[in-house]
Structure 1
Amino acid sequence: MATRLVRFLVPGTSGCFRCGGLSVELQTASLVGAVCDSEIVTYRERRDDCPYLADLLRSEPPSEDVLWIVSWGFDVPQLIRRLRGHRVAYHAHSSGYGFDLPPGVPVLAVSRNTLGYWGDRAPRNPLFLVPNALDPQWLERGDRADASGRDRPIDVLVQARKSSDYVLRQLVPALRQRGVKVEVQSGWVEDLVSLFNRSTVYLYDSAEYWRGRGVTEGFGLPPLEAMACGCVVFTSLNHALADHCDPGRSAHQIGCGSLAHDLNRIQVAIGEPCQWRPPAAELGALLHANAEPRLLERWRHVLLELDQLQRQWHQDPPLSSPPTWRLRWGQIQQRARRVVDRLPGWPNQA
């Protein structure tokens, strides 16, 4: 038995669903198509250009050569329930949603941060690290050779979505008061590569955005994309951003100590960007590790491993781990026994 078809479940593909997570799933489905057949399946929005989940569940029985990929945060538990009897894997981006996974459901984590989360929460489920791939356009059109910054009309680029109040209400006004050319981009941009290639410094501060929502930064593609285009990146270091943002090397911490400290560092970086960019060898290795050919190798390996596990589960059921409440209750009982054993006059059970 080998996987014949991989189906990626998304709620929809039209304007109201457009976001980084959707772009990643669409790109991943296209990438996996080089290994086996793949397709996008929607479950909220009906479209003429892709199948609809309810229709497929009514018309097709479960098949071991079809793998379903779920990924959409809060929808994951109910999707797994609907797909009972089918082969399912969880393409895990953000973590912290609070749900548990049934035994045997593989986790394909896009970052080490998310991998560690599920390594703690579901240590007996099959776990794999499959980072998001950089779209080839970032490597083909990224202007990393430009060291002077003179051809970049935007001194500082900020994307309003996910940015903190500190960046938008304190740092940006203070930079403009010093004569820095700041562009705050909002809404959907069709050609982000061009925008990054026209910017010297890129600010990304998502820590408070995600902390307020109780979940994590799943991968943090924007800073990596900005690095590929030669921007100096000032970023928060929350969650998955710590995977590829090494403060003082590949990127620089934003909100580091004081407003004045940020202002001074950003202004120096605008004037001397080549001194603030990551070393060429380190950047090259980082981009290579996240390029599509490298990630295609990872997906090929994951699918082979999942096929082997599926065959094995015909003989041995998937392993499981006790729920957290049971583990904590067991530890409470152990502590209580130790206390009782120390009581004066308590019979020695040995």
Structure 2
Amino acid sequence: MLIANGSEPSGVGLSPIRVLVPGTGTRFRCGGLSVAMQTARLLSTLRPTEVVTYRQRQDDHPFLDDLLRQEKAPGSSLWLVSWGFDVPVLLRRLRGRSVIYQAHSSGYGFDLPPGVPVLAVSRNTLGYWGDRAPRNPLFLLPNALEAQWLERGDRYGAGGPRVIDVLVQQRKSSDYVLKQLVPALRARGLRVEVQNGWVEDLVDLFNSASVYLYDSAEHWRAAGVSEGFGLPPLEAMACGCVVFSSLNHALADTLTPGELGHQIGCGSLEHDLERISAAVADQAAWRCSGPALDQFLIAYSESALKQRWQALLVTLDRLLPALQQQSVLRSRPLWRLRFSRQWRGLRRVVNRLPGWPVGRKP
């Protein structure tokens, strides 16, 4: 199913794009699916784009197995994979085709085939693949804030009353926040809401809160992978919330303690209580607002990311065919790097032995 937005994509005639997701039903509902669908919608304004499922057959989207049977030759499509643990299997199934990996969380432990481009959504993830796959083409392309966050965001406090003093989303929150900080804040008389389950209008919820708490460090440490981008704190700032957040992984890309957001779990419970209570009492003094926030958020707007996607697709149009025709650079395997390092160290030791001529090979 081609995604249509009411206008003809400007890239008609160029390589169509296929965005792979396991499925789009409630079983797969999560932030990763939302971002993938948003990416497909944004790309559809540039080129013919379709969402392809590979686990769940659906009437409204083509299924990967069917497409591969129909297209025994590689074809001209550009395939975009992103779903964490599924990436190695998908890359093997799409071998010989033009594939790009949109990398969110890092730390899954797999290696990439030589020549597969990586589209990192954060500098944290870019650095991970810059270390693990330094000869693969690497690009930085953040996720976008959907227009609703920027159009409806009450960034200057001029809207209606904020009936929630402190908002917490239960998923990914630490035991510290849920079992210590939330009860202590409530004991001080603050109106604290812990949101759990699906919310139809998150923008309205965020616009109803004065302070937003996000503490995902323990969640991702236990999962063994990283916070790939960290949209919730950005969404909260766009809605005028004072943000207290952990600074793990990609959150350190965007949050500067004391300027754009504040660190949660900063030293002691009492210190957190004092700062959060002060932020509720005087939001203007604690939150980032005005031109500084506008300049920060515009870089993550869909219009800005659309321009960056357009430039990237032009680069990929030149790069991917060349990679199929030329010898692809390969990274040296880790075992060889370590062996070479140990061998050089051994030679230095031998050269220092009494009576051994300097520079003589052992």
Common fold by TM > 0.5: yes
Could you say if the C-alpha distance between residues 72 and 314 of structure 1 is closer, same or farther in structure 2, counting changes exceeding 3 Å? closer
2:267 paired residue number: 257
Question: What's the CA shift for 1:321?
Answer: 1.1
Partner of 1:127: 138
2:24 aligned with 1:13, yes or no?
yes
Contact 2:156–2:290 at 8 Å: present in 1 too? no
Which residue of 62, 84, 88 maps to 2:95? 84
Is 1:287 the counterpart of 2:312? The answer is no
Higher RCO structure (Cα 8 Å, ≥6 apart) = 1
Contact 2:352 2:358 in 1 (8 A): no
* 1:295 Cα offset (Å): 0.4
Q: Distance in 2 between matches of 1:64 and 1:230?
A: 47
Secondary structure of the structure 2 residue equivalent to 1:131? coil
Task: Tell me by how many angstroms 1:342 deviates.
Answer: 0.8
* Change in CA separation of 1:324 and 1:171 when aligned onto 2, cut-off 3 Å: same
Within the candidate set 121, 125, 129, 1:114 is matched to 125
Q: Secondary structure at the match of 1:313?
A: helix
Give the Cα–Cα distance (whole angstroms) in 2 for the partners of residues 179 and 87 of structure 1. 57
Q: 2:205 aligns with which of 178, 184, 195?
A: 195
Q: Partner letter of residue 276 of structure 1?
A: W
Give 1:65 deviation, angstroms: 2.5
Map Cα deviations across residues 113-170 of structure 1 (whole Å, 9 max, x no partner): 00111111111111111100000000111111216x9700000000000000000000
Q: 1:278 offset after TM fit, Å?
A: 1.0
Structure 1 residue aligned with 2:188: 178
User: What residue number does 1:274 align with?
Assistant: 284
Q: Would the aligned equivalents of 1:3 and 1:64 in 2 still touch at CA under 8 Å?
A: no
Contact between 1:94 and 1:218, CA under 8 Å: does it hold in 2? yes
Q: Match of 1:61?
A: 72
- Aligned match of 1:332: 342
Q: CA RMSD in A?
A: 1.5
Residue 3 of structure 1: how far off its partner (Å)? 4.3
- Amino acid in the other structure paired with 1:81: R
Task: Indicate which of 219, 223, 226 corresponds to 2:236.
Answer: 226
Tell whether the 8 Å contact from 2:15 to 2:76 is kept in structure 1 after alignment. Answer: yes
1:61 Cα deviation from its structure 2 partner: 3.1
Q: After superposition, what is the alpha-carbon deviation per residue over 1:52-97, rounded to whole angstroms, capped at 9, x for unaligned?
A: 0101000113445311111011110011001111111100000001
The 2-side partners of 1:260 and 1:218 are apart by 30
Match of 2:172 among 149, 162, 168: 162
Inter-partner Cα distance in structure 2 for 1:179 and 1:347: 79
Preserved CA contact (<8 Å) 1:250 1:279: no
Residue 281 of structure 1 deviates from its aligned partner by: 1.9
Cα distance between partner residues in 1 of 2:150 and 2:289: 17
CA displacement, residues 264-283 of structure 1 (integer Å, 9 cap, x when unaligned): 00000001001111142221
Greater alpha carbon shift after TM alignment, 131-140 vs 323-332: 323-332
What residue in structure 1 maps to residue 308 of structure 2? 298
Choose the corresponding residue for 2:56, options 35, 38, 45: 45
Instruction: Give distance in 2, aligned partners of 1:59 and 1:313.
Output: 25
Residue of structure 2 equivalent to 1:140: 151
Helix, strand or coil: the match of 1:321? coil
Question: Matched residues in 2 for 1:345 and 1:12: separation?
Answer: 70
Matched with 1:32 is 43
The whole-number CA distance in structure 1 between the counterparts of 2:73 and 2:100 is 14
Q: CA deviation at 1:319?
A: 1.2
Q: CA deviation at 1:344?
A: 1.2
CA distance, structure 2, for counterparts of residue 286 and residue 117 of structure 1: 24
Indicate conservation of the 8 Å contact 2:155/2:289, yes or no: no
Q: Is the 8 A contact 2:106 2:226 kept in 1?
A: yes
Ranges in structure 1 where 5+ consecutive residues have no aligned partner? none
Q: State the AA in 1 paired with 2:292.
A: E
* Residue of structure 2 in register with 1:205 after alignment: 215
In 2, distance between residues paired with 1:171 and 1:63?
55
Q: Distance in 2 between matches of 1:17 and 1:183?
A: 26
Shift of 1:244: 1.0
